[in-house]
Amino acid sequence: MKICQKADAKWTLLLLSMVVAALLLVACGNTTPPPLPTYTGNGYTMNYPQGWTYNNVGESGVQFSNTSDPTTTLTINVSDAVLGTTLDEYFTGDLNTLGNQFQSYKTDNTVTVTPLVGREPWKVLGISGNMGGQQTKAALLVDEHPATIGYVYSITLMTKASDYDQAYSTVFQPTLASFKFNPTLPEKD
């Protein structure tokens, strides 16, 4: 009889282990990450990372910051397009504004950035340099939407130089991939 009791106990333990394993597999298989927060700006919508915050910058800008590393930021500015001003002129102005934040900087072709955002090609440039004693990499993206007398959109991605590739692949690129122009643009003043 003891042999039967031992066999029954082994089978019971095996069956119980299989039930627990099945429950764990079901629980793990049903875990979906929470949806990313969505931000709606002046003529666009995009998702931004969990745990990030945003603040208004100037009259028509917003800066998203990593709460655990505030040196990692994504900034979007939107302004009215001016008749007769080219995209190159907007780009140069935005580059000068960004460059003023650095003690010194240079064009950097190692800065990864996609030129296609919101299903449109953007003018892009990577830069690197010294900002407040910290080696920093940044990418500048500029677009006019719609293409004639619309709005000028400027996006700046910035972080410590040593963190740029990681931040780009895990944060910046997915955020840019979620960027969509709204079908109806806001009224101009």
For 102-127, give one letter per residue: b (16+ CB within 10 A) or e. beebeebeebbbeeebbeeebbbbbb
Q: Which amino acid is at 66?
A: N
pLDDT score recorded for residue 19 = 56
Per-residue pLDDT, 119: 92
Average pLDDT over the chain, rounded to whole? 86
Q: What pLDDT does residue 40 have?
A: 95
Residue 6 CB partners (closer than 8 Å, separation 6+) = none
Above 90 in pLDDT, residue 90?
Answer: yes
Say if residue 186's pLDDT is above 90: no
Residue 99 structure tokens: 């460059």
Tens of pLDDT, residue by residue over 105-138, are: 999 998 989 899 999 999 999 999 999 899 999 9
Q: What confidence score (pLDDT) does residue 57 get?
A: 92
What is the per-residue pLDDT across 7-61, written as a single tens digit (0 to 9) for each? Answer: 566 666 655 565 555 555 455 555 666 788 999 999 999 999 999 999 999 888 9
Asked whether residue 68 carries a pLDDT value surpassing 60, the answer given is yes
> What's the confidence (pLDDT) of residue 184?
72
Structural tokens at position 80: 């009215």
Largest CA distance in the chain: 98
pLDDT class of 187 with cuts at 50, 70, 90? low
- Please say if the pLDDT value at position 102 is more than 70: yes
